[in-house]
């Protein structure tokens, strides 16, 4: 009997954990974004061109936000409103969003190219150029390698 109860308890626990692990994505208004994210959008883009805004939350993880513009440009933000990824959809992203050392390296080493996508994590930056090359930089913006 004890084995049956333990098995039932584990089955219920598994079902509950499966449901809660799934990400919850919902549409929100621009005004519901963290202020830092709103400020970035207002400074570098036109908030009137926002197509939609979503908030994603997962069990035991911070919320994340995504802003999509009518021209396809996408900016992802963390829970504090700091950008995690800026995707210009093959168009140059605002240079003020790019760390100076990364912008300088790209300008010097790839003079006829623009940064069309950048993402950052705790460990590194990943950059996509207009010629399709992907570059990796460390957290301080030091060039690491061309990513295949």
Write down the pLDDT at residue 34.
97
Write down the pLDDT at residue 29.
96
**Residues 86-103: pLDDT tens digits?**
999 999 999 999 999 999
**Domain made up of 90-148: CATH architecture:** 3-Layer(aba) Sandwich (3.40)
CA torsion through residues 128, 129, 132, 138, sign: negative
Measure the CA–CA gap between 113 and 110, rounded to whole angstroms.
6
Q: What is the mean pLDDT of the chain?
A: 89
Q: Is the pLDDT of residue 83 over 70?
A: yes
Write down the pLDDT at residue 51.
97
Contacts (Cβ under 8 Å, ≥6 apart) of 73: 45, 86, 87, 88, 89, 91
Evaluate whether 75 touches 86 at the Cβ level (below 8 Å). yes
* Geometric angle at alpha carbon 28, from 71 and 89, rounded to 5°: 20
CATH 3.30.390.50 assigned to 24-85: no
Contacts (Cβ under 8 Å, ≥6 apart) of 41: 30, 33, 47, 50, 67, 75
Measure the CA–CA gap between 66 and 41, rounded to whole angstroms.
11
Write down the pLDDT at residue 6.
47
Q: 9-23, 67-81, 110-124 — which is least confidently predicted?
A: 9-23
Q: What is the mean pLDDT of residues 13-29?
A: 69
What residue segments make up the domains of the chain, in order of their start? 24-85, 90-148
Q: Where are the beta strands (DSSP E) in the chain?
A: 24-28, 50-57, 64-69, 74-77, 83-87, 115-120, 124-129, 134-138, 143-147
Write down the pLDDT at residue 62.
86
**Residues 93-133: pLDDT tens digits?**
999 999 999 999 999 999 999 999 999 999 999 999 999 99
**Residues 23-71: pLDDT tens digits?**
799 999 999 999 999 999 999 999 899 999 999 998 777 899 999 999 9
Measure the CA–CA gap between 33 and 19, rounded to whole angstroms.
26
């Amino acid at each position: 009997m004890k084995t049956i109860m333990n098995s039932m308890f584990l089955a219920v626990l598994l079902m509950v954990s499966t449901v809660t692990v799934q990400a919850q994505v919902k549409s929100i208004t621009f005004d519901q974004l963290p202020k830092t994210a709103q400020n970035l959008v207002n400074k570098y883009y036109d908030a009137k061109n926002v197509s939609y805004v979503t908030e994603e939350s997962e069990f035991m993880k911070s919320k994340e936000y995504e802003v999509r513009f009518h021209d396809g440009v996408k900016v992802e933000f963390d829970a504090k409103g700091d950008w995690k990824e800026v995707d210009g959809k093959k168009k140059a992203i605002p240079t003020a969003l790019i760390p100076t050392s990364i912008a300088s390296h790209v300008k010097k080493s790839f003079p006829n190219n623009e940064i069309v996508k950048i993402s950052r994590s705790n460990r590194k930056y990943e950059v996509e150029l207009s010629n399709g090359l992907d570059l990796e930089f460390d957290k301080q913006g030091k060039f690491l390698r061309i990513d295949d």
